[in-house]
Structure 1
Amino acid sequence: MPFVAVGSSLQLTTDETKGLKSLPMTTQVTAKKAIHGSITDLARLVDFISIPSPRSSRFSCLVPIFHATLKSVQVPNYINPKTIPAIKRAELAVMGLVKICTVASSASDGGDNAVTNYIVRRWDETYPWMQFFARNCLPPPYDVSVAPPRPDLCNVFDAAKLCITPLYLICTQSEEGRHLLRSSVSVQHFVAQLWILIGNLRGDVLQGDPGTTTDDLVSKLRASFALTNQVCVSESEDPDKIALPLSNYIHAAGGVKPIVFTLLRYIRRITRDAAAVEKPRSWTPSDQSVQQLHLYTVGLHYSFQFLQTISRQDVSCRARLISQGSIRTVLDAITQILPRILVQANKEMDFHPQLGLAHRQNVLWSGYSYIASAIRDADDGVTGVCQAIDAGLIQTLSMGVVCPPHANGRDHPTRGRMGDIELLLLLPTFFIYHRVVDSIARHWFRMQVAGLEKPEVRDQCLWSALQLIVTSTLEAIKHRSVEPINFHEYRCSGPGCPMCTSKFVSKKRRCSGCLVSIYCSEKCQRSAWRNGHKKWCRVLRCTVGPWGSRDIRTSLQVIAGFETSEISGMAQDVEMHVREAQQQFPAFSDRLVLVLDLSVWPPEIHVLPVHKLEQFPGEDLIWPEIADEIRARSDSPPKGYMFSVVKIRLGKSKVTLFSPSTALHMAFEGQYFSDDEAYNSVDEDDVDDLKVLGDQDLDYGEESLDNVDGSEDRFYEV
C-alpha cells in the first residue's frame, strides 16, 4: 500500500460523513480539512477530544477519521523526509483513538465496548505503530542512558504513553483484549520489553521534553503499567480460552533475573513516589493528592499481585524473589504507605466506589497475601518467616488495628480472612523452629512497644489474630528457654561424657543414621551404641524427617515442648478421638497412633492406624517394639494408642515426625548421669553390630557454634 501524501483525501462512507454533523460547526470544518489530509487540523481534532463533555459519545463520530488515517499509511521500513508526515499522522490517529476510549471509560457509557471496537478489533492497524514508536522513540530497555534512534519523531514521554495507554485501556475495559494479551506471543514480548524499559527509566531521561522536570511522569507510567503485566501472566477468565505459559513471558523479559530485579525496583520506586505525595488538604475525589495516592496504591496493588502470580507459577522466580529480599521489600512498602492510606476521611470518601477506604486497604491485603503465599509455597518457609519478622512484620500489622475494615461488595464482601489474617494464622505454624524463635526473641521488646496494647481497636478480627500471635510467641519462648539437651548444645552424646564438641572441632562426629547424636570420639560412639543408641537410632531418624532437615534437628526440643503442652491441653479431645478410632477401626484398635497436626493453626488432633501414616512404614516391626518400650518405661496408664507423631510444615512440604518428646526422652534419658560402665572396653563381637558411623563434619562450623552461643546470650538478654 503506498503512502498517502499530505493533502490527499481519506475514504469515509456516507454514514460516517453524516455522523460528523453532530459536532459543532467549527469542529466540522476542522474535520473536513483533516479528511483532506491536513496534519494541523488532525491535531486540532485530537485536542478537541480532550475537552470535557457530558456527551462523550459524540466523539465516536471521529473514530472513522482516525481509522481511515491508520489504514491509509504503512509502517515505514526507513525514515526519511518523505515518510515523516505519514508518521506524524499515524501518531495523531493513535493518540485520538486512545483519548476517545479514555473519555468513554471515564464517562461510564460503554468504555468497554469502545476499547473493544476501536482498539482491540482494529489491533492490526494500531499495534504495528505502537511497535514502531517503541523501536524508534524509546531508549533500549536495558540501557536507558542511550539516546533513542529517532528522538526527533516523538519525545520519550509521548512515545511511552502511545505504547502504554492502549494496553492499560485493554486491561481495564476489554475482556477480549485481556485474552489477546494472554494468548499472543508477540504482544507478550512487546509488553515484557516495555516493562523492563519503564522500570529502568529515570526522570532525567525526560529532561527537555515539554512539561517534564521531575520523575512524576515516569512514576505515573510505572504505576499504570503494573496492571498490564499482571494481566499477561494471570489465568484466563474463560476456562475455554488457553493462556500462554509464564515461561514465554520470562523468556521475553530476558530470564528470571531481569524480571525479579525490575519488579522489586518497580515496588520500591512506586512506594517512594507514594510516600512523597503531599497530605491531601481535603479528602475529596477532585483533590490532586488523593488522585495521586489512588494511582500509586493501585500500581502497588497490581505489582503485589504480579509478584504473587509469578511466585506461585514458577519455582525459580519464587526462590530468586525470596533470596533478593522480596518479603522485606513488600513490608517496607506497606510500612511507608500504611499511615497515608488508612485514613478515615469522611463518609463520602470512605465509601467511594473507586477512591474509598476499601480500595485503599486492598493494597495492604494483597501485599500480606503475597508474603503468606511466599512462605507457604517456598521450599524453605522458615527463611521467609525469619525475613518477615526481622523486617518488622508484627509491628506493621499492629498498626492496622486502628482502622476499621471497609467491605467492598465486589472484591471483599466480608472482612473474613483477608491477607493480614491469613498471614497471622500462618505464622504460628513456624514458631516451632529454633531460628524463628530466635528472630522473635530479638524483636520481642520492639513488638511490645510497637503497640500490641493499643487503647483504640477498630479492627477486632485483626486484633484477635494479633493476640493469638502474642500467646504463641510467649509459648514458643517458654519452650525455647528450657535446659537444652546435649546434642542441641553440641556436646558429646556419649553416656556421661562432659566434652563439648566446640572444643574438638577437628574430630567431631555425627551419627550418619539418625543425624542427631554427636560424639567426640569413636569410644563414645561405641559406648552410646551399646547403651541404647542401637535401638533409638532409627527412631531418631524418623524424628528429624526423611531429609534430616537442619531446621528440624536444631528445633527438636521446641517441637517437643509444643507437643507435650498441646496434647496435655487437649486431653479430653484425645480421649474422644481414641474412642472414635477404636470404633471406626476395630481390627487395629491396638495399633492406633495419635497425630498432632502443627502444620495448621490452631493445632488439630487425629487418631489413625499406624499403616495409614504418611512417611511411616506400617508393616515395619520397629513400631510395636517401640510401643512396648514406651509402655515399659512409662509410669502412666495406657492411653489407648501406641505412640504419637507430629505433623509440621517446612513450607510447601509437610513432614510427619515420630514424637520428638518421646524420642528425646528415651534416647537421651541417661545423658545427664555419669555411667562409668559405659566407658568400659567394647567387645570385638559387638563391633559388627555397630552402625556405620561416618566421620561426617557437622553442618555447623566453629564460627556457627560461636553464633549459636551468642544467640543464646541475646535471647536471655531480651
Structure 2
Amino acid sequence: MRFFARNCLPPPYDVSVAPSRPNLCTVFDAGKICISPLTVICTRSEEGRHLLRSSVSVQHYIAQLWILVGNIRGDVLPGDPGTTSEGFIPMLRTSWALTNFVCVSESEDPDKATLPLSNYIHAAGGVKPVVITLLKYIRRITRDAVAVEEPRSWTTRDESVKLLHLYTTGLKYSFLFLQTISRQDASCRAQLIRQGSIRTVVDAITQISPRILVQANHELDFHPDMGLAERQNVLWSGYSYIASAIRDADDGVTGVCQAIDAGLLQTLTNALVCPAHANCRDHPPRGRMGDIELLFLLATFFIYHRVVQSITRHWYFFVQNFSRTKQETRDEGLGIALGLVLRSTIDAMKHRNVEPINVHLYRCSGPGCSMRVSKFVSKKRRCSGCLISIYCSEKCQRTAWRNGHKKWCQVLRCTIGPWGSREIRTSLQVIAGFETSSISGKVKEVETRVREAQQQFPDFSNTLVLMLDMTVYPSESHVLPVHMLEQFPGGDPIWPEIAAEIRQRSDSPPKGYMFSVVKVHLGNSTFTLFSPSTALRMAFEDQYFLDDEVYNSEDEDETDDSKTLGDQDLDYDSESLHNKRYDV
C-alpha cells in the first residue's frame, strides 16, 4: 500500500518542483492488483480488517485512490490500456465501497486500538471531499444497477442477477459508510445533510427497489447471500441512515423535510406491492430501523409547521399512490403503518389550518390593538422574555405587561423551550392541535395513569402533571409530579397558582392533575413544554377582537403558507379521505 501510494497516485504537492518518479506502476495497475485481495481481506479476515483500521499508510492509500476513482470522468483510470472489459471501473467502485466502510467502522475486538476517523478524512482531503465523493459513488452505483439488463432466468447463475447483487451490495456498504461517518463526526453529519445526502439515498432506493424487490423462485428468494431478505436489507440500510441522520442531527426538521420532498412517502407506498419477507419461512424479521420504524420516526415531526408545508406539497401524490397500491398490498404490516401515518398527515394539515389562526403572529399583542404586522411604522418589537408576543409600539408593550403579560411571559417561555426554538415557536398551533386531540382521544387511559400516579406518589397527589410524549409514535401519556419533569421549572411557585387559574377558567377542568405538558424533540434535543393550547388561549384570549379583519392577511409580511396549494381543494380532499380512513 505504501509503495502504491508513493509511486502510483498523484502526489499531494506541486509536481513541477518535485523530482520525477520512476514509472513503475500506473494507477490502473494498482487498482487492478488490489481489488481482489482487499475484498477477500474485508470479508474473510478479522486480522486483515483490523490492519485496515489501524495502519496509517494503508488508510492513506485507500482514501486517496477512493477519491481518485470517485471523481474520474469516462470511467477510465490513468494507465488503462483499453483492453479490459467495460465493467472494471463499476466493479472497482462497488468493491471500494466495502473497503472504505471497513476502514472507518469499529473493530470487532474492543481491546484493539484503531485509528480515528480524522486520519481517514485528512488522507482524503477533508470533510467536504469525502462527503461529495461518497454521494457520487451512491449515484453512480445506482446508475450502474439500473442499467443492468433484465435477468432472463432469475437464478444464481444468471449474469444479470450477479451484477445486480454486486451493485446492490456496493450500495449497502455505501449506506453503512454514510451512517458510520455521520455517527462518528458531527461535521460530517452536518455536511452530508447540507449536500443532500437524504435526497440522494431516497433517490437510490426509489430507482433500485423495483429491480431487486422481485419474488422470483424458491432457489433465489431463500439464498443466504442473494435472497429476497438480503436484498431488502440493502434498502433498510438506507432507511437506517435516514433515521440516524434525523435522530442525531441538531436540526432534524430539515432532514425530515428533505426526505419528504425527495418522495420518501411515495417510495414507501410503492413498496406495498412487494412481498414481506418477515412473513416467510427462514426469513429474518425487519431491522430495528426498517421502513416501518422510519415511518413512525417521521410521524413524530408532523407537529412542526415546516414539515407540514412539505407534506402539503406532496400529499396529493402520496394519497394517489396509496389508493392505487392499496388493492394490491402484499406487505400488510407496511400497509397498516402507512395508513396510520396518512391519518396523521391529515390531522397535521387540519391543525395548521384550523380557525382562529395564531393571531399573535400577525397582529400587535397589545390589548385591544388591531394593528397588523405589515402596518407597523417602525421595526416590530418582540418580547425578549417569551419571544412570542410582538408589539407595534412601546405603549402597547407596557400596557400588555400591566394587563397580565407579566405573569404569562414565563409560561409562554416554557411553551417554546429553554432556547426559544424558532421551529417550536412557529409550530405552536400545530402542536396545540395534536395535544388537544391526543388528550380527548385518551380519556380512559389518562384516568388510569392518574390513579396509578396517585398510588405511586401519595405525597405529591396535588402536584401531578399529565405529560404527552410526542417523541414516539403513537404518542404516549404519563402522569408525574411537577418537580420530576425534565427541563421544566417545576419547583417555581407560579405553577400551582397557574393551575388554580386554569381550573377556574376552563370549561372542563382537568381531573387529578394540575395541567398538561408536551415532550417533543428536534433530533438529538428533547424539550418538555408547558401546554401550548393552554398557554396560547389564556395568554391571548382577552387581548383580541376576533373580527374579519384578523383573517384578512393579503398584505401581511408574515403570510400563512397554507394558502399555497389552494385551501378549498385541499380541505375537500382531506375531508373525503378522512371519512374513508377506516377502510385502510
TM-score, normalising length: structure 2 = 0.90
Task: Check the 8 A contact 1:511/1:518 in 2, yes or no.
Answer: yes
Q: Return the alpha-carbon distance in structure 2 between the equivalents of residues 410 and 260 of structure 1.
A: 39
5+ residue gaps, structure 2? 548-552, 571-584
Q: 1:713 — aligned with what?
A: 564
Identify which of structures 1 and 2 has the higher relative contact order when contacts are C-alpha pairs closer than 8 Å and 6+ apart. 2
The match for 2:221 among 326, 329, 350 is 350
Q: Return the alpha-carbon distance in structure 2 between the equivalents of residues 227 and 707 of structure 1.
A: 49
**AA paired with 1:636?**
S
Q: Return the alpha-carbon distance in structure 1 between the equivalents of residues 264 and 184 of structure 2.
A: 25
**AA paired with 1:516?**
I
Larger Rg over CA atoms = 1
Deviation by residue 1:318-375 (Cα, 9 ceiling, x = unmatched): 0110011000000111111111111122221111222211121121110011001101
Larger mean CA deviation between 617-626 and 706-715 belongs to 706-715
Q: 1:513 — aligned with what?
A: 385
1:656–1:478 Cα change, 3 Å: same
Task: Check the 8 A contact 1:134/1:160 in 2, yes or no.
Answer: no
Give the deviation of 1:466 after TM superposition.
Answer: 0.8
Q: 1:80 — aligned with what?
A: none
Q: 1:373 — aligned with what?
A: 244
Give the deviation of 1:413 after TM superposition.
Answer: 2.3
The match for 1:191 among 62, 68, 76 is 62
Q: Say yes or no: does 1:612 pair with 2:484.
A: yes
Task: Check the 8 A contact 1:268/1:329 in 2, yes or no.
Answer: yes
1:194–1:407 Cα change, 3 Å: farther
Q: Return the alpha-carbon distance in structure 2 between the equivalents of residues 386 and 315 of structure 1.
A: 20
**AA paired with 1:298?**
T
Q: Return the alpha-carbon distance in structure 2 between the equivalents of residues 664 and 305 of structure 1.
A: 44
Task: Check the 8 A contact 2:435/2:468 in 1, yes or no.
Answer: yes
1:706–1:661 Cα change, 3 Å: same
1:625–1:605 Cα change, 3 Å: same
**AA paired with 1:251?**
H
Deviation by residue 1:456-490 (Cα, 9 ceiling, x = unmatched): 11111111111111111111111111025445542
Q: Return the alpha-carbon distance in structure 1 between the equivalents of residues 331 and 62 of structure 2.
A: 40
TM-score, normalising length: structure 1 = 0.74
Q: 2:152 — aligned with what?
A: 281
Give the deviation of 1:157 after TM superposition.
Answer: 2.8
Q: Return the alpha-carbon distance in structure 2 between the equivalents of residues 502 and 419 of structure 1.
A: 47
Q: Return the alpha-carbon distance in structure 2 between the equivalents of residues 703 and 253 of structure 1.
A: 52
Deviation by residue 1:26-51 (Cα, 9 ceiling, x = unmatched): xxxxxxxxxxxxxxxxxxxxxxxxxx
1:153–1:210 Cα change, 3 Å: farther
Q: Return the alpha-carbon distance in structure 2 between the equivalents of residues 397 and 537 of structure 1.
A: 44
Give the deviation of 1:674 after TM superposition.
Answer: 8.0
Task: Check the 8 A contact 2:277/2:284 in 1, yes or no.
Answer: no
1:297–1:408 Cα change, 3 Å: farther
Q: Return the alpha-carbon distance in structure 2 between the equivalents of residues 584 and 453 of structure 1.
A: 50
Q: Return the alpha-carbon distance in structure 2 between the equivalents of residues 241 and 451 of structure 1.
A: 49
Q: Return the alpha-carbon distance in structure 1 between the equivalents of residues 554 and 24 of structure 2.
A: 62
Q: Say yes or no: does 1:308 pair with 2:213.
A: no
Q: 2:369 — aligned with what?
A: 497
Q: Return the alpha-carbon distance in structure 1 between the equivalents of residues 61 and 348 of structure 2.
A: 50
Q: Write out aligned runs for 1:282-301 (5 A).
A: 282-301=153-172
Task: Check the 8 A contact 1:488/1:554 in 2, yes or no.
Answer: no
Deviation by residue 1:240-260 (Cα, 9 ceiling, x = unmatched): 223222222222222211111
Task: Check the 8 A contact 1:594/1:608 in 2, yes or no.
Answer: yes
Task: Check the 8 A contact 1:402/1:456 in 2, yes or no.
Answer: yes
Secondary structure at 1:457's aligned position in 2?
coil
Task: Check the 8 A contact 2:146/2:208 in 1, yes or no.
Answer: yes
Give the deviation of 1:715 after TM superposition.
Answer: 5.6
Q: Write out aligned runs for 1:66-85 (5 A).
A: none
Q: Say yes or no: does 1:570 pair with 2:442.
A: yes
Q: 1:48 — aligned with what?
A: none
Count of matched residue pairs:
559
1:703–1:575 Cα change, 3 Å: same
Q: Return the alpha-carbon distance in structure 2 between the equivalents of residues 334 and 473 of structure 1.
A: 23
Q: Return the alpha-carbon distance in structure 2 between the equivalents of residues 151 and 408 of structure 1.
A: 60
Q: Return the alpha-carbon distance in structure 2 between the equivalents of residues 307 and 210 of structure 1.
A: 33
**AA paired with 1:240?**
D
Q: 1:422 — aligned with what?
A: 293
1:634–1:169 Cα change, 3 Å: same
Q: 1:646 — aligned with what?
A: 518
Secondary structure at 1:281's aligned position in 2?
coil
1:569–1:710 Cα change, 3 Å: closer
Q: Write out aligned runs for 1:49-448 (5 A).
A: 130-139=1-10, 153-202=24-73, 203-205=75-77, 209-212=81-84, 214=86, 216-406=87-277, 413-415=284-286, 417-448=288-319
Secondary structure at 1:467's aligned position in 2?
helix
1:568–1:409 Cα change, 3 Å: closer
1:409–1:711 Cα change, 3 Å: closer
Larger mean CA deviation between 417-426 and 705-714 belongs to 705-714
Larger mean CA deviation between 635-644 and 625-634 belongs to 635-644
Q: Return the alpha-carbon distance in structure 2 between the equivalents of residues 481 and 510 of structure 1.
A: 24
Q: Say yes or no: does 1:467 pair with 2:318.
A: no
Q: Return the alpha-carbon distance in structure 2 between the equivalents of residues 370 and 138 of structure 1.
A: 32
Q: 2:576 — aligned with what?
A: none
Q: Return the alpha-carbon distance in structure 2 between the equivalents of residues 288 and 606 of structure 1.
A: 57
Q: Return the alpha-carbon distance in structure 1 between the equivalents of residues 243 and 283 of structure 2.
A: 18
Give the deviation of 1:173 after TM superposition.
Answer: 0.7
Give the deviation of 1:704 after TM superposition.
Answer: 13
1:637–1:489 Cα change, 3 Å: closer
The match for 1:628 among 495, 500, 520 is 500
% of aligned pairs identical?
Answer: 74
Task: Check the 8 A contact 1:611/1:619 in 2, yes or no.
Answer: yes
Secondary structure at 1:161's aligned position in 2?
helix
Q: Return the alpha-carbon distance in structure 1 between the equivalents of residues 282 and 14 of structure 2.
A: 39
Task: Check the 8 A contact 2:222/2:282 in 1, yes or no.
Answer: no
Q: Return the alpha-carbon distance in structure 1 between the equivalents of residues 230 and 12 of structure 2.
A: 32
1:150–1:275 Cα change, 3 Å: farther
